[in-house]
């Protein structure tokens, strides 16, 4: 059930009706849980059992930590949670990758063995809900939050369908308190929610899907058929596509949440305006970046260790971002590129005596933004490529130096120009548009949304383009 489908909005309307009819009663949690399970089963009913298994163990582990007689007992409950969640994630997402890698290494040394292979389909959104559930048990272990008051509330936190398969990664400390109060729906929430949904659909359908079908997929499927300049334009297009695809789905998720009176965290903050790799990861997939900072980087010691260890901690944390995105060596290389860039940036940043309050002249700021953007664009080769061979073909064609532009249509040019112009528009202008929409009377908001829906139906591609992050 894709967010940009009619099925989703019919489902959303049905669930909203039932939710607000039961808003004053605890039954609403049962309704939300049931609806979220139905939503998840739309992809594969069988994988619901693993979501519920993770929920059940973590729900039991949290009070077990609080009642354990000693630290050893508390650690045992935490270990159960970590083993279950990471075990499921590792089995479904990484077993075949690591198994194949080990066997390939042994074959290089003349040891001919066959890799065991699990013929399974990756459960949709497993990386998202695994990290959410782990944040809950770790926070309870640290004494930062109390255990959930009821199973239905905790299950709603994990399975709430707007963010279940597409993020953002929600913290229990932010979401559970919202479930402990009687929900109220304000006109502002409705206006902002519908605005976010409209923005998300425009990003996904008009920009991401159209660019994917009409340029990006073709370039990566057969890079040698395109000139160097066309390949570069294809990389710019992919960089815009992945932002519009992911942030578009996040917008729909956040907008849907607001219609329930529930607030989901922001996940993107104009990342291509970043002046450094570090700033990029503070603006891109913000909920993942902060999760890794709080639950991996800081426990490793962060920067409060000798410099060499601090650089290693930083590199490892960022490098694992690549592996989180996909079980392939291309993703590992992608993560290592960004980890290395972060280390280099921090080293020279500190050598230069820079602080958070340092201000650059505008030419240097422009140079930093341009350099960071192109580093991100080029690193996306390994994010998008199906293999190292595919990545090498793209790089080779890029380095050829040919400048012909024969395969770029006027509509692709227009979308690229409009997309990047919108991304680099001052945030204040976008905020003014958002506030203006929210202040409109409900009939006017409906008319705007009807116009957006009609436009999307006319422009949408015939081919359904899956959400990029479904593989994660």
What SS3 state is found at 366?
helix
Q: How far apart are CA 229 and CA 159, in angstroms?
A: 44
Whether residue 168 is preceded by a cis peptide bond, meaning omega within 30 degrees of 0, is yes
What are the C-alpha distances in Å from 369 to residues 57, 196, 247, 364, 379?
A: 45, 27, 20, 9, 15
Pick the catalytic residue from 4, 163, 285, 325.
325
Structure tokens at 136: 């809950």
| Displacement of CA 42 from its chain's centroid (Å) | 21
Segment holding 419, helix H or strand E? helix 410-423
Per DSSP, 256 falls in state H
Q: Could you tell me if 250 and 151 are in contact, meaning their C-beta atoms sit under 8 angstroms apart?
A: no
Among 327, 60, 430, 20, which Cα is nearest to 189's?
Answer: 20
Active site residue 285: no
Q: How far apart are CA 187 and CA 395, in angstroms?
A: 51
Q: How far apart are CA 184 and CA 5, in angstroms?
A: 27
Per DSSP, 469 falls in state G
Segment holding 345, helix H or strand E? helix 329-351
Q: Could you tell me if 270 and 283 are in contact, meaning their C-beta atoms sit under 8 angstroms apart?
A: yes
Q: Could you tell me if 310 and 275 are in contact, meaning their C-beta atoms sit under 8 angstroms apart?
A: no
Catalytic residues: 325
């Amino acid at each position: 059930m894709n967010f940009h489908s009619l099925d989703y909005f019919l489902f959303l309307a049905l669930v909203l009706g039932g939710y607000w009819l039961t808003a004053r009663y605890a039954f609403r949690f049962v309704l939300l849980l049931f609806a979220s399970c139905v939503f998840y089963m739309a992809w594969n009913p069988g994988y619901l059992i693993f979501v519920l298994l993770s929920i059940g163990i973590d729900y039991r582990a949290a009070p077990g930590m609080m009642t354990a007689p000693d630290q050893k007992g508390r650690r045992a409950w935490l270990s159960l949670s970590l083993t279950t969640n990471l075990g499921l994630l590792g089995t479904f997402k990484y077993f075949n990758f690591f198994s194949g890698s080990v066997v390939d290494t042994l074959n290089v040394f003349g040891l001919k063995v066959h890799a065991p292979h699990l013929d399974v389909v990756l459960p949709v959104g497993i990386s998202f809900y695994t990290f959410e559930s782990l944040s809950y048990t770790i926070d309870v272990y640290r004494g930062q939050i109390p255990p959930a008051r009821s199973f239905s509330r905790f299950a709603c936190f994990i399975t709430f369908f707007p963010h279940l398969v597409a993020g953002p990664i929600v913290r229990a400390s932010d979401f559970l308190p919202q479930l402990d109060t009687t929900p109220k729906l304000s006109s502002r929430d409705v206006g902002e929610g519908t605005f976010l949904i409209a923005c998300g659909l425009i990003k996904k359908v008009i920009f991401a899907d159209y660019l994917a079908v009409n340029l990006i997929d073709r370039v990566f499927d057969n890079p040698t058929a395109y000139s160097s300049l066309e390949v570069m334009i294809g990389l710019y297009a992919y960089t815009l596509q992945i932002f519009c695809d992911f942030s578009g789905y996040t917008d729909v998720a956040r907008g849907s949440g607001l219609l329930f009176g529930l607030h989901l965290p922001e996940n993107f903050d104009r990342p291509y305006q970043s002046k450094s790799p570090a700033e990029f990861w503070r603006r891109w997939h913000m909920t993942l970046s902060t999760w890794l900072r709080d639950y991996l980087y800081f426990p490793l010691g962060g920067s409060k260790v000798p410099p060499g260890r601090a650089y290693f901690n930083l590199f490892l944390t960022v490098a694992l971002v690549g592996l989180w995105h996909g079980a392939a060596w291309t993703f590992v290389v992608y993560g290592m590129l960004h980890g290395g860039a972060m280390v280099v940036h921090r080293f020279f940043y500190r050598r230069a005596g820079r602080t958070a309050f340092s201000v650059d002249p505008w030419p240097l700021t422009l140079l930093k933004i341009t350099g960071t953007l192109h580093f991100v664009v080029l690193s996306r080769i390994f994010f998008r490529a199906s293999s190292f061979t595919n990545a090498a073909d793209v790089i080779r064609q890029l380095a050829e130096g040919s400048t012909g532009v024969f395969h770029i249509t006027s509509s692709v040019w227009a979308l690229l120009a409009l997309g990047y112009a919108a991304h680099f528009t001052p945030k204040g202008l976008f905020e003014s548009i958002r506030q203006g929409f929210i202040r409109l009377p409900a009939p006017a908001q409906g008319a705007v949304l009807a116009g957006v829906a009609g436009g999307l139906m006319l422009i949408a591609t015939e081919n359904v383009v899956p959400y990029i992050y479904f593989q994660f």
